[in-house]
């Protein structure tokens, strides 16, 4: 049986990416590596939609989140955190670990923040230095309206920091145009790579904060990374093989074109949402992201069983709920290297498994809907 992974990280690896990992290592202080790294740094700007440099580090995405806090702020600085799921909470936990003062915007899990509420908070407390939020809150599957939040934040002296770890490459993110000061990303999601790389882009407004920031940092020092980058280098030994793989995945993204990549994610997400709804299941997230669809587990079906049977009978892995959503939702990612057969396949496997578990399913209900969406027969 083939195995297929539909989790919001890690995501499947294209063959070119896999093969690049089989090559002999090259030394990082060579012209050969520098030219690969320079190429990668250029292409990252395209995906990040920014003129600013994108820094690359060897860690999972959380490393870059921590690095942002360590480089931009000082203990006692006030930051505004959008608490709408597990990754919003992660911003809060990191900020508190560095002695920052966190003001929260609490939103119901499964919903997005109201930009006007962020505006109110920013105007009522002039000491807020930053808004820390997500593009896609992967734990709930919700997409946040970063364009509107960007408008609100750019009216103030605060910077907008967006964790786009799962959103980048799945949702539009016009970093410079929307006034997003910091974008954080990771390798194992839309980039179609193994885990192990993380990325940060910084606007000039964000770079200015670095001058006064006193939180401790050494490996994660953005200034060190930046001065190495302009020489085609990294400050420390980079994850050489992953950067070689990144060149392959960026080439795939450029070949398809970022707009086409985003459109593919939009259509696949729509197909999954419509198919799932046609089965009488309820979508948990509003608005639901193009990276991952979270679905309320219907009464009479056990979440653990659903995922176990999908795995056992179809080699299909989907994600469960995190934190307080554990056991209540399942999440199907349609992120990164996905094609039409993957999408129709995961819905087929879901229907078969629901039927196996006693849920009333008319065969091919969801599959038919996927097909209709892919044929353009459904208003998009
Ligand atoms: C996956 C994810 C993270 C965490 O990234 P790691 O690579 O596991 O450290 C953070 N934020 C969001 C929105 C994510 O999807």
User: 93 CB less than 6 Å from ligand 1?
Assistant: no
Residue 2 maps to a domain: no
The pLDDT tens digits for 80-132 are 999 999 999 999 999 999 999 999 999 999 999 999 999 999 999 999 999 99
Where does a domain end: 255, 272, 307?
A: 255
Residue 305 maps to a domain: yes
Residue 169 shares a structural domain with residue 217: yes
Residue 237 shares a structural domain with residue 283: no
Residue 187 shares a structural domain with residue 299: no
Give the pLDDT score at 378. 84
Distance 165 CA to ligand 1 centre (A): 6
User: 34 CB less than 6 Å from ligand 1?
Assistant: no
Listed in sequence order, the residues at least 6 apart from 3 whose beta carbon sits closer than 8 Å to its beta carbon are 315, 316, 317
Question: What number does the ligand 1 atom closest to the CA of 195 have?
Answer: 7
Distance 291 CA to ligand 1 centre (A): 13
Contacts by residues 328-331 (CB-CB < 8 Å, ≥ 24 positions apart): 328/296, 328/297, 328/303, 329/141, 329/284, 329/294, 329/295, 329/296, 329/297, 329/303, 330/294, 330/295, 330/297, 330/303, 330/306, 331/7, 331/8, 331/138, 331/141, 331/292, 331/293, 331/294, 331/295
Give the pLDDT score at 174. 98
Residue 3 maps to a domain: no
Where does a domain end: 255, 277, 293?
A: 255
Which among 166, 131, 142, 109 is positioned nearest to 323, based on CA atoms?
A: 109
Confidence band for 335, pLDDT divided at 50, 70 and 90: very high
Confidence band for 155, pLDDT divided at 50, 70 and 90: very high
Residue 77 shares a structural domain with residue 117: yes
Residue 221 maps to a domain: yes
Residue 8 maps to a domain: no
Q: Residue 202 belongs to a domain with what CATH number?
A: 3.40.640.10
Which among 371, 355, 363, 350 is positioned nearest to 4, based on CA atoms?
A: 350
Residue 113 shares a structural domain with residue 234: yes
15: tokens are 């063959």
Residue 144 maps to a domain: yes
**Run of H or E including 186:** strand 182-186
Number of domains in the chain: 2
Distance 187 CA to ligand 1 centre (A): 10
Residue 42 maps to a domain: yes
Is the per-residue pLDDT at 140 higher than 90?
A: yes
Range of the domain at 88: 15-255
Residue 251 shares a structural domain with residue 281: no
Residue 213 shares a structural domain with residue 273: no
The pLDDT tens digits for 156-191 are 999 999 999 999 999 999 999 999 999 999 999 999
CA pair distance 188, 196, nearest whole angstrom: 8
Distance 191 CA to ligand 1 centre (A): 13
Residue 221 shares a structural domain with residue 315: no
Residue 22 shares a structural domain with residue 145: yes
Distance 86 CA to ligand 1 centre (A): 10
Residue 55 maps to a domain: yes
Residue 243 shares a structural domain with residue 276: no
> What pTM was computed for the model?
0.98
Q: How many Cβ atoms sit within 10 Å of the Cβ of residue 136?
A: 33
39: tokens are 């190429």
Q: Residue 360 belongs to a domain with what CATH number?
A: 3.90.1150.10
Q: Which of 92, 137, 166 to mutate to test the pocket of ligand 1 (most atoms within 8 A of CB)?
A: 166
User: 169 CB less than 6 Å from ligand 1?
Assistant: no
Is the per-residue pLDDT at 309 higher than 80?
A: yes
Where does a domain end: 255, 282, 298?
A: 255
Q: Which of 56, 59, 61, 291 to mutate to test the pocket of ligand 1 (most atoms within 8 A of CB)?
A: 61
Give the pLDDT score at 379. 77
User: 61 CB less than 6 Å from ligand 1?
Assistant: yes
Give the pLDDT score at 198. 98
Distance 361 CA to ligand 1 centre (A): 34
Residue 191 shares a structural domain with residue 44: yes
Is the per-residue pLDDT at 151 higher than 80?
A: yes
The whole-angstrom distance between residue 150's C-alpha and the CA centroid of its chain comes to: 18
Q: Which of 138, 142, 167, 242 to mutate to test the pocket of ligand 1 (most atoms within 8 A of CB)?
A: 138
Average pLDDT taken over every residue of the chain: 97
Give the pLDDT mean for 303-322: 98
Is the per-residue pLDDT at 53 higher than 90?
A: yes
The pLDDT tens digits for 247-263 are 999 999 999 999 999 99
Residue 155 shares a structural domain with residue 23: yes
Going by their DSSP bridges, the two strands 197-202 and 182-186 should be labelled as antiparallel
């Amino acid at each position: 049986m083939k195995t297929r992974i539909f989790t919001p990280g890690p995501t499947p690896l294209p063959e070119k990416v896999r093969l690049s990992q089989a090559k002999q290592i090259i030394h990082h202080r060579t012209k050969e590596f520098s030219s690969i790294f320079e190429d990668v740094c250029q292409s990252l700007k395209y995906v990040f939609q920014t003129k600013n440099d994108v820094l690359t580090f060897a860690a999972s995405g959380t490393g870059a989140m921590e690095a942002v806090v360590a480089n931009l702020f000082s203990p006692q600085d006030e930051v505004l955190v959008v608490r709408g799921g597990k990754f919003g909470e992660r911003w809060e936990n990191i900020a508190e670990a560095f002695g920052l003062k966190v003001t929260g915007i609490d939103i119901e899990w499964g919903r997005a923040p109201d930009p006007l509420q962020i505006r109110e908070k920013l105007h009522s407390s002039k000491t807020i230095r930053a808004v820390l939020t997500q593009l896609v809150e992967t734990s709930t599957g919700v997409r946040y309206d970063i364009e509107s939040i960007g408008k609100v934040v750019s009216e103030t002296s605060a910077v907008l920091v967006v964790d786009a770890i799962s959103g980048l490459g799945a949702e539009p993110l016009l970093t410079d145009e929307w006034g997003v000061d910091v974008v954080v990303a990771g390798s194992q999601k839309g980039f179609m790579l193994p885990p192990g790389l993380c990325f940060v882009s910084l606007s000039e407004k964000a770079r200015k904060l670095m001058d006064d920031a006193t939180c401790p940092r050494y490996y994660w020092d953005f200034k060190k990374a930046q001065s190495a980058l302009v020489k085609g280098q990294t400050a420390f030994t980079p994850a050489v093989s992953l950067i070689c793989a990144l060149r392959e995945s960026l080439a795939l993204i450029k070949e398809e074109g970022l707009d086409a990549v985003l459109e593919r994610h939009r259509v696949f997400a729509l197909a999954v949402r419509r198919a799932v709804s046609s089965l009488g299941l309820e979508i948990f997230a509003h608005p639901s992201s193009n990276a991952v669809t979270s679905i309320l587990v219907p009464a009479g079906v056990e979440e653990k069983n659903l995922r176990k049977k999908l795995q056992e009978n179809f080699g299909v892995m989907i994600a469960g709920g995190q934190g307080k959503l554990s056991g209540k939702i399942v999440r199907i990612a349609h992120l990164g290297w996905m094609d039409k057969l993957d999408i129709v396949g995961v819905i087929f496997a879901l229907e078969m498994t629901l039927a196996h578990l006693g849920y009333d399913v008319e065969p091919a209900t969801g599959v038919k809907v996927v097909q209709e969406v892919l044929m353009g027969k459904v208003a998009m």
